Structure 1
Amino acid sequence: MTAGVPAAGSSLVAQSRERSRRRGIDPERADPPVDLQGAELTEHLAGHRMAAALPVVEKILVSGVVSSGHLVAVADADGRLLWLYGDHGVRRRAERMAFVPGALWSDDAVGANAPGLALRHDVPIRVRGEEHFLAPAHSWSCSAAPVHDPQTGRVIGGIDVTGNDIAASAELLALVTATALLAEAELRSMPTGGARRLEVLGTLRPTLGGHGPLTGRHAEILVLLAAHPRGLSGGALAELLAAGRLDEVSIRAEVSRLRRVLGPDAVLSRPYRLVPGAVETDAARVAELLHTDVDAAVAAYPGPLLPASDSPGVADLREELDARVRAAALAAGSPRALRTWVAGPGREDPEAWRALGSLPGLSPAATSSARSVYRVLDNRLGA
């Protein structure tokens, strides 16, 4: 990490303010762009390497500064806030200037601020009060430091403390910088052999690459942890697995057995969460493809997620993914996507058959066949 630590009021802040004026950023605005929310933000978090830094951030920073009225933020390399820790009242105050997960606090987007400048210039930095370009941020001070990929040296994100004047003190900047260095050490210790593939779609026999078949319960736990990258407490995991029928002692025992399969360090505790890059599910791959290639997403979706599972948390994920794939297939207007859908999970989906039969460019035989199946299914459902 770069050794230099620019002080508040440095030339970097002045340069940033001049850039912001030239770009026409309104200093009175209170709505930095929030470009990721909901499912899209969850997916972004699930695959981000900065998740590996969270145990260090929580141990060093969160436990030490949140109780004194500060916020701790973890951002990606673009300056987008990913995770935010802080007391409810402080977070509510920060929401007024859109300092929330999913919001873009890059130097280009909102002008001078510590995480934005730390990422832009690859240096630890602190920004006090009115040095912020945005007026709504003038009552806050902050210190931030970048985090690098140990293999490539590239910046992959940053760590920030925001709060009162103490947040921009030399002592707190040193603590944030030390936390970033420890986070890089944590990343360096992560396995580099690639994620193990978990197959859970359209099968009654979930399998894990390098291991083989998994128990249904272990597959359910992995699917739920993959869907909640920030982690789940034992109680929350128990409720998602079997509402009211499991206790935290049972969860602890199941996770212990699961670690014998994955390795002792693949599942972290307090809360339970997967080490980033340890496991990749075929369900997550389909969800990712839906954003870029609908044909490929539908082709990669052989059927519902863990169809035999009665876990309420898994059932919700199953229904959501199935609905997303179906909606994408119908909306794409692609003969390939529709044919793949009706040949597999949507074989009894009358609306899909009707959409296929209405597509221009199909052969007369294919059109007639699709319309015939639609009439049969429609009559059956109407009977």
Structure 2
Amino acid sequence: MPHSPMEVTRLTATDAARAARVLDEMRASTLGGGRAKLAPRPAIRESWGRMLHNGIDPDHDFRTDLLSRDEVERRRQTSRLRHTLPVLREGLLSLADTAQHIMLVADADGRVLWREGSASVLRKADGQGLGVGADWREETVGTNGIGTPLVSRRPVQVYSSEHFVRALHSWTCTGAPITDPRDGSLLGVVDVSGPLETLHPCTLALVDSVAKLAQARLRDLHLTSLEQLRAVAAPVLARMDGRAVAVDKNGWTAAVTGMPYTNRLALPKSLAPGRCWLPALGLCSVEPLPGGWLIHPTGDPEPPLTAPHILLDVSHPRRWTVTVSGQTGSWTHELTPRHAELLYLLALHRDGRSASTLADDMFGDPARTVTVRAEMSRVRRYLGAFLDHRPYRFTEGAEVEVLLPEAPLDLLPHSVAPGVVRARAAAGGQAWVERAQR
């Protein structure tokens, strides 16, 4: 009997039937509250915890209502994932055809938008209601290679009985998230799925690598769009006096005049022509450009920042924001996973954290202060007026409010930062895990 996840991984490559039995015994013992000879892998354990908390029935019919053809097409045309398809096909379809697998590409809502690969496996998927337009979110289908990476933000391979819903035990799914390099937002997941007996132990590494190549493709497209914006903005800036900067819709700088160059400006979630306050520049006038904005700092005096209200919203498992309200109005910024972790930890410890303590909270390694300082420098680009350092903390006058999820396991579920893990455990989010490991 294997005693470690690594041994099970090797076993799937040599004896799929035995691997399925081992995983089935592990699942039955763990979900039944007993002591399993083999503990679930961390990603699976965390996912099962979410399923148990949400009351998902492991024996329910997982088939979902499919999106209409018109809605699938609308999502395809508006999703940046469409630009990654040539890379995904080149990297994964040969594997899918050879190994009797299919490749699925789902958006950030877990809806399958594209599906290609082995004809026989596609027919099997159709018979189980897993067609184009299907909903593969964890809360709908249970632990799987699309929904689980959407929550964890990490590549995940789900073998046979590691699927929470029993009807999926004949499948093995391997998925990796694809993020937008412009702002770190989650675009969706690419997944390779098929029968357990055709699993290759290198599938996870391959899918993850191809997902990163897809993100590199999006980065190249972004650089091209910045060049196009620069060509439009350059003659406009040449005629202007004073300071001005041309940025794209995500705040990336295309051209600048009369001021130091910075790679990116933090922009409000909704920016419109007119006057607004930006953290890095103060009061500005904003004019539209094709594909971006022309921003001109006015130099007008700013009202004093007295008693700002800072709302950190981490109540959603896949999207987090910080909103600052004060005399200049309200301003919202969508957070990357790393910045959501950092700001949550600072909100948790209002007395502040030194760089080494914050490094320990984030990475379990007090020596990683360089990484912490670099990330905090990025945070200060949009929250600098409300953050102190030495130690890092919110300014004394700031009123900080945190919106938390109802379920402790939904608190930054992607995070493996020790400080966040401790907070989830303190809120009762790991009680079922402790029961299963007794």
Structure number with higher strand proportion: 2
- TM (normalized to structure 1)? 0.46
Structure number with higher helix proportion: 1
- TM (normalized to structure 2)? 0.41
